[in-house]
Every structure is written in structure tokens, then in C-alpha cells.
Chain A
Amino acid sequence: MRVPILRQGPYLIASIQAAVTDEDLLHLGQEVVERVGQYRSRGVILDVTVLDVMDSFAARTLRDLARAVRLRGAETVIVGIQPEVAFSMVRLGLSLEGVGTALDLEDGLALLDQHVRRRGKGGR
């Protein structure tokens, strides 16, 4: 099942389901990177609230997605990492280095707003 990507103003929002396959995740990456250009999006929210397992493949795929999005001039924030998932990522030694994270969708949107404002003033 493909991950749906919603457009909200200058941002794209993708909600990742629990049963997302490796192929779906890879496809999501390509799709998001394309749409950032198509819609001239300034930011991307990846909502993983219902994702019950973040293994090394998922972490690497989401990190790569965020890096590619940044090369296209937009910023990515991952929101909704569950407490259990956070513990397991720490135990696994997984980090999403360089990728913004926020507690939930609301905080993620606020983080993107801040980022866009900073960029507007010429800084990063």
C-alpha cells in the first residue's frame, strides 16, 4: 500500500502506516523528492505515529529521504516517534542525524514554520 502524500500550504505531509513495506518506503522517498519540486514545497512532515517498528532499514531510508529533500531546498521533520520505538532505536544505535524530529504534527509544523522564517531572513 502506497503512502499517501497530502499537500498543506507550503508543506507536504506523509503519514506512514504500520505495515509499510521496504518497497513502499523507497517509493515514498522518490515521490516526496519529486513533489517538493512540483509544488515548490518548503517542508516535509513524515508522520510515524502508527509505525510500530523503526528498524535500521526504515531509519536509513527516512534519513536518505530527508537528505535528498534538503538538496532540493526544503526541510524534513519526522513526527510521532512512539516511546517504545525511541527506546528500540537507541538500543539499536540508530540515529536520524541531521533530520529534525518533533513530538507531533502540530510541533512539526511549528518547527517548519520557524525554519522557513529563518531562511526567509537569509540564514539557515
Chain B
Amino acid sequence: MDGETRVPICRDSDIILARQQGRALAAQLGFSSIDQTLIATAISEVARNILLYARQGEIILRPVSQSEKKGITVIARDEGPGIPDLTLALQNGYSTSNSLGLGLPGAKRLMDEFAIVSEVGKGTTVTMTKWTQ
């Protein structure tokens, strides 16, 4: 498997760069064009969350495999303020930034696996994976 790609996120054009790179990797791994779009959209949501709440951070794109299955893992990491109530943040429509509040729950619905670790004052890491069918 090829190595991982890191995309620093500190301005809104970085969101586009991250989702383009994510789409390219997904295409390489053999994802369908619908899945490529779902992955690129999920990356867009978590990258924007970094900008909105932490101002900067990074997206890591990693090819993964499990026996016969190939997949892509997307890690969105920041050292921002952290999320005090994760259950609330994963609820549809919840937002502290006047967005639609679909960012995290939306990304979760687009991917197969989704995990979030957050510590107030330390930062947030979202890890999500999608597998080829």
C-alpha cells in the first residue's frame, strides 16, 4: 500500500485541496464514482469543521486493507478547543457556528466507520473509513 497523504488545513482553499486529494486516492483504490463523491463530501465536511472550530489542523488520507477489502481512512485532526458534548455534536441540526449542523453527523452517514475523540482544550480527532464494495 502506498503511504499516506497529509493536507494542512488553514484556509478555505485547503478544503478543496483535501477533497481533491481524497477523491484521487479513492479513485486509485477502485472506488465507484458515487463513493468517490461521498468520500470527497465527507472530507469537505470535516475539513470545514477544522476551519470553523479550530482554525487549523490537518487531514490525513490513508489507504487501508483488511483481508481482501480495500479502503480509505480519513483522519481530521486539530488542536482546537475540543468538543465538550460529543453526543450533542453528533446530533443532526446541532451547531454552535450557525451552520446547518450537518457537518459531523453528515460525514458519519457518508462513510462506513466513524470515530471521534475530543478533549476540551486539547483538540479533536475524527477517524473515518470507507471500504470498497
A residues lining the B interface (CB < 8 Å): 19-23, 52-57, 59-60, 82-85, 87-88, 91-94
| Cβ of B16 under 8 Å from chain A | yes
In the complex, chain B residues whose CB is within 8 Å of the CB of A83:
34
- Max chain B Cβ within 10 angstroms of own Cβ: one of A54, A60, A88: A88
Q: Is the CB of A54 within 8 A of B12?
A: no
The interface residues of chain B, by DSSP majority, are classed as helix
In the complex, chain B residues whose CB is within 8 Å of the CB of A53:
19, 37, 40-41, 44
B residues lining the A interface (CB < 8 Å): 12-13, 15-16, 19-20, 23, 33-34, 36-38, 40-41, 44-45, 48, 92, 99-100, 102-103, 106, 109-110
User: B48 — nearest CB in chain A belongs to which residue?
Assistant: A57
Q: Is the CB of A92 within 8 A of B48?
A: no
Give the distance in Å from the alpha carbon of A60 to the alpha carbon of B48 in the complex.
14
User: A21 — nearest CB in chain B belongs to which residue?
Assistant: B12
The answer, among B16, B37, B48, B100, for a CB contact under 8 Å with A87, is B37
B27 to chain A, nearest CB (A): 12
Q: Is the CB of A84 within 8 A of B102?
A: no
Known: A22-B48, A53-B19. A92 touches B12 (CB 8 A): no
User: A59 — nearest CB in chain B belongs to which residue?
Assistant: B100
Q: List 17 A-B contacts (CB under 8 A).
A: A19-B13, A19-B16, A21-B15, A22-B48, A52-B37, A52-B40, A53-B37, A55-B45, A57-B44, A59-B100, A60-B99, A82-B37, A87-B34, A91-B38, A92-B102, A92-B110, A93-B92
In the complex, chain B residues whose CB is within 8 Å of the CB of A55:
41, 44-45, 48, 106
User: B105 — nearest CB in chain A belongs to which residue?
Assistant: A93
Known: A56-B103, A92-B110. A22 touches B15 (CB 8 A): yes
Give the distance in Å from the alpha carbon of A87 to the alpha carbon of B109 in the complex.
12
B11 to chain A, nearest CB (A): 8
The answer, among B20, B33, B100, B109, for a CB contact under 8 Å with A91, is B109
